[in-house]
Structure 1
Amino acid sequence: MSHGYSPRWRGFVIAVLRPLLVSLLKRDWRGRENVPRRGGVIVAANHLSWADPLALGHFVYASGRFPVYLAKSTLFTVPIVGAVLRGCGQIAVRRGQLDAGQALEPAREALRAGECLMFYPEGTCTRDPELWPMTGRTGAARLALASGAPVVPIAHWGAQDVLPYGSRRPRLLPRRTMRVVAGPPVDLSRYADVPVTAEVLRDATADIMRAIADLLGELRGEEPPKELYDPRKKAS
């Protein structure tokens, strides 16, 4: 099955959300020229808040692309919300299967259709006490190596002030600034033409997460940690 969407649904979402976001949030955007205007592309970003998708989607749309997210399948069963997600061409994945082959085939179809695919490699909002990116899951790297699509790293800062993780009440006043920066595509050329092993996927994922962490360091004016927070180690 090829990837599809409704231009009317996308137009409706843009007409509703764009002016709303412009009125609610100030913007400090950098690096939009690093988001390719055409062709399949993977955008990999850090995850701070449930407000991330709207703020990042606004940035990507202003860069000339419509964002396609891999969203929890349960959202597609919610009345109205599910219709909007399907109409806009968003991709349903089952919880805990972001790296699984079942989830990646629809994502490959979207890339072949020339979509801008949005990934949160961390899989959830960061648990790092200082809000740096965590280690990532391998889905974005697996998809990039299989498809040859570029991976554009994006870092953002400010969504945690609008809607802190775990909170359901946004803080809209005073008007917050969303700082977003996109870097050049991550160089994954050293993994070309080699067997895609678990080690290769881990190394490619580490390269992607390091690029995101370095961009976030630029936004924050701080040095990112040399070793990213690993929730699996903390849980053991």
Structure 2
Amino acid sequence: MSRRRIGFWYRLAAVLCKPPLLVFFKRDWRGMEHIPEKDGFIAVVNHNSAVDPLSYAHFQYNTGRVPRFLAKVSLFRSGFVGAAMRGTGQIPVFRESKDAIGAFRAAVEAIDKGECVAFYPEGTLTRDPRMWPMKGKTGAARVALETRAPVIPVAQWGANLAVPPYPKRGDIRLFPRKTLTVQAGPPIDLSEFYGQEPTAAVLRQVTDRIMDAITAQLSDIRGEPAPAERYDHRAVEQQQEEVPPQQQTGSDRQTGPAEHAERTKQAERAQQDTAPPGGAGGENA
């Protein structure tokens, strides 16, 4: 099937968003050869900054395959934002659907039509104190098993050094210019799960494999091994609810904006210490 055309709304978004990205950031695009040239596929991406959707969209746009992101249906119903969401082909998630895959029916249909659908499997900005990918949700796994489309793991690093998760005033640091590194890996082999009943156990295995592949790409970017155990913020929050605040230690408390900012600064220093020679040699406009 043919790829989606880059229409008016996507070109308008590129005109508005690319110049600031080119001014404020350097770019290091890696693994574009893994993006399928035709037919539908799923991109699964980590999320560590409010800026990284623009970074990933810029990367994907430069391959000629525009991404379609999932978004709550209410965003499609109002004014300019709704018109832009519809015009760029973003995908509404119908969470009120009674069957699990029904919530992602539009994503399945888009992939069947030969388009790229991008998932953030974590479902939110990472809350891992060191900004590694967290435990993922199963939506991407459901769609992958339903469509059997290629699943491309994509990792990002750098936007978080300029705009950390949950920033406070003074935490945003655009200068010196940071490098937005986006790296796509080869398709994840999920063939052993095809034809299996999508039980909770199967979906968890597929999701873990997806998160492992994203984490491996990020580990390559950062030049360091990932933690042995993936951060599960729901389990941490539940644990905190069971422990009175006055009895919590520093490690028990949920990481907040200030702690994220400090972790970001530490990560930036570490990146500068381990940056490969040549900086953003893979920069693309």
TM-score with structure 2 length normalisation?
Answer: 0.76
Query: Structure 2 counterpart of 1:136, which letter?
Result: G
Query: Structure 2 counterpart of 1:140, which letter?
Result: A
Equivalent residue, structure 2, for 1:41: 41
Equivalent residue, structure 1, for 2:173: 171
Q: Point out the more displaced range, 102-111 or 123-132.
A: 102-111
Where does the alignment leave 5 or more consecutive residues of structure 2 unmatched? 239-285
Aligned residue for 1:130, secondary structure, equals coil
Cα offset for 1:9? Answer: 1.4
What root-mean-square deviation, in Å, do the aligned CA atoms of Structure 1 and Structure 2 show?
2.2
Aligned residue for 1:174, secondary structure, equals coil
* Cα contact 2:153–2:188 (8 A) shared by 1: yes
Cα offset for 1:96? Answer: 9.4
Cα offset for 1:28? Answer: 1.1
From the superposition, tell whether residues 132 and 162 of structure 1 become closer, same or farther in structure 2 (CA, over 3 Å). Answer: same
Equivalent residue, structure 2, for 1:216: 218
Identity rate of aligned residues, in percent?
48
In 1, Cα distance between the equivalents of 2:93 and 2:168? 23
Q: Aligned runs of 1:46-61 on 2, under 5 Å?
A: 46-61=46-61
Equivalent residue, structure 1, for 2:8: 8
In 2, Cα distance between the equivalents of 1:73 and 1:174? 38
Aligned residue for 1:80, secondary structure, equals helix
* Cα contact 1:5–1:87 (8 A) shared by 2: no
In 1, Cα distance between the equivalents of 2:182 and 2:168? 23
Cα offset for 1:95? Answer: 6.8
Query: Structure 1 counterpart of 2:109, which letter?
Result: E
* Cα contact 1:6–1:89 (8 A) shared by 2: no
Q: Give CA deviations for 1:66-121 in whole Å, capped at 9, x if unaligned.
A: 01100133433453122111101001225798x94332101111111211111000
Equivalent residue, structure 1, for 2:88: 88
Q: Aligned runs of 1:52-131 on 2, under 5 Å?
A: 52-93=52-93, 100-131=100-131
Query: Structure 2 counterpart of 1:137, which letter?
Result: K
Equivalent residue, structure 2, for 1:233: 235
Q: Give CA deviations for 1:152-195 in whole Å, capped at 9, x if unaligned.
A: 00011111122211237753222211011100011101112222
From the superposition, tell whether residues 80 and 171 of structure 1 become closer, same or farther in structure 2 (CA, over 3 Å). Answer: farther
In 2, Cα distance between the equivalents of 1:6 and 1:183? 24
Rg larger for: 2
Query: Structure 1 counterpart of 2:89, which letter?
Result: G
In 2, Cα distance between the equivalents of 1:121 and 1:133? 9
Query: Structure 1 counterpart of 2:163, which letter?
Result: L
What is the number of residues matched between the two proteins?
232
From the superposition, tell whether residues 118 and 18 of structure 1 become closer, same or farther in structure 2 (CA, over 3 Å). Answer: same
Where does the alignment leave 5 or more consecutive residues of structure 1 unmatched? none
Equivalent residue, structure 2, for 1:190: 192
From the superposition, tell whether residues 33 and 96 of structure 1 become closer, same or farther in structure 2 (CA, over 3 Å). Answer: farther
TM-score with structure 1 length normalisation?
Answer: 0.91
In 2, Cα distance between the equivalents of 1:139 and 1:147? 12
